A = this chain, B = another copy of it.
Amino acid sequence: MPSIVNTSRVAIVGLGQLGTSLALRLKELGAREVLAVSRRDDSLRTAVERGVIDAGSTEAADILPVVDVVFLCLPLTATLSFVQEQLPHFRFGGLVTDVGSVKGAIVRGVRPLLQQHGTWFVGSHPMAGSEKSGMECGRADLYQNAVVFLTPTPEDEPDAIELLATFWREIGAMPIELDADRHDLACAHSSHLAHLVAAALVRAVLGQGDVTANQQACAGGFRDVSRIAASNTDMWTDICRHNRPALQQALAAFQQELTAAGQALDAQDWPAVAAFLASAKAQRDDWFTGYAKARGTPA
């Protein structure tokens, strides 16, 4: 079977960490042609010079009509406005996806427009990326063994879904289909809540009280707990905004757990504190064993 990556012309819209990593990997796999759209001419020039992409333009109209597959690698709000503004230029019969962390708002905002235009849209969300951002942080192996959620609707064409899944598999990722709203609730817990919690922890430790002593007392544990608090602020505000109800639900679940821990502490109920910590350890150990195994990394 011919490789889909090698026979497709691909456009990447946005050359941040995710878009750049995708381009690097597609070039590594010998993709037929990797084009890019970016607002910044200097980013495009740098990307071409480094062989990250074959060519690019600041004008979507130059690129979108001539490609088979479009990956929208923009922040959420920018993804919504890009599709609205550039709709006439998407190719009839082409396939469009995105890499956004929230899928309900994207699928509801983007899919009907593209469908009416005769272009397929299926949302993607690769569970990849770091607290860093920008082209400099792109890595060809960013998606290797990463889960990529695909969030098709029941009305989507099975062929379009399968094409997209195959694409991600060739890239090295693990596509998993999930309903968009169920996805958003899951990511609200495992990712968006985690970012909010990390930020609140940093502010409680480094933003008030005996900051000098607290800074000295921060070591490897704090370093890892707080890493994602260093993420791009605008991007994460955007995510909170587009996934608010799910994030509120996750936050309530977390506050309930924290209250339980605080009550056990207040009551000096040490068996209850031990049980609280032990169940968390068991759940985390269980999850991590599977996570590490799927990625071929040591547990």
* A residues at B contact (CB < 8 Å): 127-130, 146-147, 149, 176, 178, 182-183, 185-187, 189-191, 193-210, 213-231, 233-234, 236-237, 240-241, 244, 247-248, 250-251, 253-258, 260-262, 265-266, 268, 270, 273-274, 276-281, 283-288, 290-291
Contact = CB atoms under 8 A, between A and B. Distances in A.
Give the oligomeric copy count: 2
Nearest to A208: B253
Given A191-B222, A206-B287, 7 more contacts: A149-B217, A178-B213, A183-B213, A189-B214, A196-B258, A203-B280, A229-B280
Contact of A185 (B203, B210, B240, B255): B210
A253 to B, nearest CB: 4
A230 B265 contact: no
The binding surface of chain A is classed by DSSP as helix
A206 to B, nearest CB: 4
A272 B223 CA distance: 25
A274 B176 CA distance: 31
Contacts of A149: 216-217
A284 B226 contact: yes
Contacts of A186: 210, 213-214, 216-217
Contacts of A253: 204, 208-209
